[in-house]
C-alpha cells in the first residue's frame, strides 16, 4: 500500500504539472491571440493577391504585428509551450516574413519589367558613354587596318592565335574565300560557337568590371578588340573579299559588337561617375551608376547568347552573302529600335 501510495502520489504530481503547463499555454495564447489572428488574416489576404483591399491601418500594422508574433514565438520556445502552439507560430511567422521582407516580384514579373522598358531606359541613360565607346571602336578598327597596311607583321600581334589558321597575310583569295563559305562542311560548329561566346563574353564582362578604375581599362580594351577586326578587314580586303567578309561577320557580329559596345559604355559610365561624382558622395555615385550599368549588363549577356547561337548555326549554315547581310542588319535594326524607339515606361518616369 505504501508503494502504491508513493506511485499514486507521483502520478498525481505529474498530472498537476501537465495541467499547469496546459493552463500556462492557454493563458499565453489568450493574451496574444488577437494579434495572431489579425496577422493571419492580413497574411491570408496578401497570399490571395488581395493586397489592395487591405485597409491603411492593416498595412501600417503589418510590420509591428510581425515583430509581435516573432517575439511570441521566441517566448514560446524558451518556455517550452505545447507543440501545437509552437507549430502554429512558426508557420505564421514564416508566412508573414515572406510578405514583409520577401521578394515582391516574381521571375515572370521581373522579365516583363526588364524587357518592357527597364533595359532600354538604362541603355538610353548611358548614351554619352556609348557615343565615346563607339568612337573608340571605330578608331581601333582604323588603327588596326593602318598598322597592318604599313607592316603586315603587325597582323600577328593584333590577331589572337586562335584565328591564325590559314587566315594570314599572303594567303590566296581561294583559301581565304574557303574560310567564309565552307562552314557547312566543317565539324565542331558548336565548339567554335562556345569558344566565340566565351571569348566575347569575357571581353564584355572585363569592360564592365574594370570600369571602377575610372574607365581607363574599358577604353583600352575597346580599342584592342576592334584593332583585331581592323586587321582582319585589311586581310580580306587585300584579296577583294571585303563584301563577303563583312557579310560573313555581320550575321552574328552586329549583335556581338553592339553587346561589347554596351558593356564598354556601362564600364565607362561607372568610371565616369566615380571620377566626377558631382554633389554626391563617391559611394552614392558608384552605387547609382552600378545599378544602372548592371541592368545594361544583364541584357548584354542575353545578346551574347543570341550572338553565339547565330555564330554556331546561322553563319556557318547560311552561305548566301545577301542572306547573311539581311539577318545581320535585320538584328541590328531590331536592337536599335528596341533601345531607342521603344519608350514604354510602366513606372511613369524616365531614368535619369
What's the CA gap between 323 and 260, in Å, rounded? Answer: 24
CB 339 within 8 A of CB 123: yes
What's the CA gap between 18 and 15, in Å, rounded? Answer: 5
**Grid cell listed for 161:** 592565335
Beta-carbon contacts of 29 under 8 Å, excluding residues fewer than 6 positions away, are 36, 85
- Picking from 285, 279, 274, 155, the residue whose alpha carbon sits closest to that of residue 218 is 274
Write down the H helix ranges in the chain: 2-47, 56-78, 83-101, 107-113, 119-125, 127-150, 154-158, 173-181, 189-209, 216-237, 242-275, 282-309, 316-317, 321-340
Which comes out higher in pLDDT, residue 144 or 199? 144
CB 195 within 8 A of CB 311: no
Q: Give the pLDDT band (50/70/90) at residue 278.
A: confident
- Report the range of poorest mean pLDDT among 27-41, 95-109, 250-264: 95-109
**Grid cell listed for 342:** 521603344
pLDDT of 168 higher than 70: yes
pLDDT of 153 higher than 80: yes
Q: Give the pLDDT band (50/70/90) at residue 187.
A: very low
The four Cα atoms 72, 77, 82, 86 give a dihedral, to 10 degrees, of 60
What pLDDT, on a 0 to 100 scale, did the predictor assign at position 295? 92
Give the tens place of pLDDT for each residue, 99-133: 777 665 667 777 888 888 889 999 999 999 999 99
What's phi and psi for 268, nearest 5 deg?
-65, -35
Which comes out higher in pLDDT, residue 163 or 10? 163
Averaged over 315-340, what is the pLDDT? Answer: 89
- Report the range of poorest mean pLDDT among 82-86, 101-105, 166-170: 101-105
Averaged over 228-250, what is the pLDDT? Answer: 92
Averaged over 195-224, what is the pLDDT? Answer: 70
CB 245 within 8 A of CB 256: no
CB 148 within 8 A of CB 230: yes
State the Rg of the chain over Cα.
Answer: 33
pLDDT of 231 higher than 50: yes
Q: Enter the DSSP assignment of 105.
A: S
Which comes out higher in pLDDT, residue 34 or 124? 124
Q: What percentage of residues in the chain have a pLDDT greater than 90?
A: 24
What's the CA gap between 199 and 239, in Å, rounded? Answer: 27
Which comes out higher in pLDDT, residue 138 or 343? 138
CB 73 within 8 A of CB 82: no
Give the tens place of pLDDT for each residue, 47-59: 787 777 788 888 8
What's phi and psi for 103, nearest 5 deg?
-65, 140
CB 227 within 8 A of CB 162: no
- Picking from 303, 291, 306, 220, the residue whose alpha carbon sits closest to that of residue 262 is 303
- Picking from 344, 345, 340, the residue whose alpha carbon sits closest to that of residue 126 is 340
CB 264 within 8 A of CB 218: yes
**Grid cell listed for 7:** 506511485
Which comes out higher in pLDDT, residue 54 or 209? 54
Determine which helix (DSSP H) or strand (DSSP E) holds 159, and give its type and residue range: none
Which comes out higher in pLDDT, residue 133 or 191? 133
What pLDDT, on a 0 to 100 scale, did the predictor assign at position 209? 67
Q: Give the pLDDT band (50/70/90) at residue 337.
A: very high
- Picking from 256, 255, 253, 270, the residue whose alpha carbon sits closest to that of residue 129 is 270
- Picking from 28, 38, 41, the residue whose alpha carbon sits closest to that of residue 84 is 28
Amino acid at each position: 500500500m505504501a508503494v502504491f501510495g508513493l506511485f499514486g502520489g507521483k502520478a498525481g504530481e505529474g498530472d498537476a504539472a501537465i495541467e499547469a503547463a496546459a493552463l500556462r499555454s492557454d493563458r499565453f495564447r489568450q493574451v496574444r491571440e488577437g494579434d495572431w489572428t489579425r496577422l493571419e488574416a492580413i497574411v491570408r489576404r496578401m497570399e490571395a493577391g488581395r493586397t489592395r483591399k487591405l485597409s491603411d491601418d492593416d498595412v501600417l500594422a503589418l510590420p509591428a504585428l510581425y515583430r509581435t508574433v516573432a517575439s511570441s514565438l521566441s517566448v514560446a520556445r524558451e518556455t517550452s509551450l505545447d507543440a501545437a502552439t509552437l507549430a502554429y507560430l512558426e508557420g505564421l511567422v514564416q508566412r508573414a516574413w515572406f510578405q514583409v521582407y520577401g521578394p515582391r516580384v516574381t521571375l515572370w514579373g521581373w522579365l516583363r519589367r526588364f524587357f518592357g522598358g527597364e533595359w532600354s531606359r538604362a541603355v538610353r541613360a548611358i548614351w554619352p558613354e556609348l557615343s565615346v565607346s563607339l568612337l573608340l571602336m571605330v578608331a581601333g578598327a582604323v588603327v588596326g587596318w593602318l598598322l597592318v597596311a604599313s607592316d603586315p607583321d603587325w597582323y600577328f600581334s593584333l590577331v589572337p592565335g586562335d584565328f591564325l589558321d590559314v587566315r594570314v597575310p599572303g594567303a590566296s583569295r581561294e583559301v581565304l574565300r574557303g574560310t567564309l563559305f565552307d562552314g557547312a562542311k566543317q565539324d565542331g560548329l558548336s565548339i567554335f560557337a562556345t569558344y566565340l561566346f566565351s571569348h566575347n563574353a569575357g571581353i564584355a564582362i572585363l569592360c564592365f568590371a574594370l570600369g571602377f578604375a575610372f574607365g581607363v581599362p574599358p577604353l583600352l580594351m575597346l580599342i584592342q578588340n576592334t584593332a583585331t577586326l581592323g586587321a582582319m578587314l585589311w586581310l580580306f580586303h587585300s584579296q577583294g573579299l571585303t563584301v563577303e567578309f563583312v557579310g560573313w561577320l555581320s550575321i552574328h557580329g552586329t549583335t556581338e559588337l553592339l553587346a561589347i559596345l554596351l558593356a564598354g559604355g556601362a564600364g565607362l559610365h561607372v568610371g565616369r561617375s566615380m571620377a566626377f561624382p558631382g554633389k554626391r558622395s563617391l559611394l552614392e555615385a558608384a552605387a547609382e551608376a552600378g545599378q544602372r550599368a548592371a541592368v545594361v549588363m544583364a541584357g548584354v549577356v542575353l545578346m551574347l547568347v543570341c550572338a553565339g547561337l547565330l555564330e554556331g548555326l546561322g553563319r556557318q549554315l547560311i552561305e548566301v552573302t545577301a542572306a547573311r547581310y539581311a539577318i545581320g542588319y535585320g538584328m541590328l535594326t531590331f536592337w536599335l529600335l528596341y533601345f531607342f524607339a521603344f519608350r514604354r515606361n510602366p513606372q511613369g518616369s524616365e531614368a535619369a
